[in-house]
Chains A and B, each alone.
Chain A
Amino acid sequence: QKEVEQDPGPLSVPEGAIVSLNCTYSNSAFQYFMWYRQYSRKGPELLMYTYSSGNKEDGRFTAQVDKSSKYISLFIRDSQPSDSATYLCAMSTPNTGNQFYFGTGTSLTVIP
């Protein structure tokens, strides 16, 4: 079983829709959670970074962590065609040094 599971999609939504992206994980020691956006032929770009449980909001993006269910989510409000990309979740524990475990990414297309 992989440390982090993420539905690869593809996910296709109309412009203006609310998008929900999710990851599940097996290691209850994960404390640091990140979401990255990766455009085609580019490197991953950090969107959100949270520690432990709770919600964090930044503009149209909201990250949620539910440690009891080992489940994290990224919500995108008022989705735009420029949001079309692959979204990767990543997480680490306090005991794994700088090692982050990544999901395989969800491919999102926002249709104008």
Chain B
Amino acid sequence: DTAVSQTPKYLVTQMGNDKSIKCEQNLGHDTMYWYKQDSKKFLKIMFSYNNKELIINETVPNRFSPKSPDKAHLNLHINSLELGDSAVYFCASSQGVHQPQHFGDGTRLSIL
């Protein structure tokens, strides 16, 4: 009965590959997010979707493409992976604007 679940938990891959991370929330929230947390624990928003529409798109390389098939799902596809993409990626959801976000347990991406 996990509220926000991400798969996979760990992802180890080679530079140049394409990979996807999936996220699902069962809280009935209308807004979902992707965050990147670097090695110094700094959490930075990448994307935010509200009712399947993109509302925040921070300056991230266009190799990163989010897709929201419905309100409960937000996936992240990454093309041509680079060493600097190694980080923990967190999915989160909230109900409405300015409401606290509920996080998944992260996907640890390591680029070899």
Q: Which A residues are closer than 8 A to B by beta carbons?
A: 8, 31-32, 34, 36, 38, 41-46, 49, 86, 88, 92, 94, 97-100, 102, 104-105
Contact = CB atoms under 8 A, between A and B. Distances in A.
A70 to B, nearest CB: 18
Question: Lowest 10 A-B CB distances belong to which pairs?
Answer: A43-B103, A102-B43, A105-B41, A43-B105, A46-B100, A49-B100, A32-B98, A44-B103, A104-B42, A98-B48
Interface of B: 4, 31, 33, 40-45, 48, 50, 55-56, 90, 92, 94, 97-98, 100-106
Contacts, number: 58
Nearest to B96: A98
A56 to B, nearest CB: 13
B35 to A, nearest CB: 8
